[in-house]
Amino acid sequence: MRGPYRRRRVQRPPRMHRFRPAETLGDELPVTRLSVSEYEAIRLADLLGLEHREAAEHMAISRPTFTRLIEKARHKVAQALVEGHELVIEGGLFDYVETLYRCPQCGEISPRPVHQGKRARHGCRSSRWEDLAERFPPDSTERSGHGHARERQR
């Protein structure tokens, strides 16, 4: 029997959490769910062009685990694009390295280390920053390979 999943390291939360085909604004669509860890795998391998070994090091997982993760993520994105599904990013077992704060007044986005807080101000002088990491919290449960949920073990 396999042990508990290791928490993956994710650089920062996604800027967006939902993508829909433009032609279906009011329609009910099937939903394809992409975990935050799968999103990070796509960011590292496909956007930044990192080799699987290097991307796995960034996420603090093994290279074979990264390969399985990126293949699953690519399949989900392809399914959403080809079949016209809504793509939703949510959940997973991970820890952020940094977070993104967004100003609700002007839309400026500022990266900060996770534990630094919302102290910064910028050009529009707003003191109300939205922490995007709060939109993508990690799960408190994990899934075994057979689809059964169990509490995360520390």
Contact between 29 and 18 under an 8 Å Cβ cutoff? The reply is no
Which residues on adjacent β-strands are paired with residue 87? 19, 32
The CA distances from residue 97 to 2, 45, 83, 124, 126, in Å, are 27, 18, 34, 27, 25
Residues sharing a CB contact under 8 Å with residue 119, sequence separation 6 or more, in sequence order: none
Greatest Cα pair distance, the chain, in angstroms, is 55
Q: Which tens digits make up the pLDDT trace of 12-63?
A: 888 888 999 887 766 788 999 999 999 999 999 999 999 999 999 999 999 9
Residue recorded with tokens 């910064």 = 120
- Tens of pLDDT, residues 95-154: 888 878 888 778 787 777 776 655 555 556 666 777 777 777 777 544 433 333 333 333
- Token code pair at residue 120: 């910064």
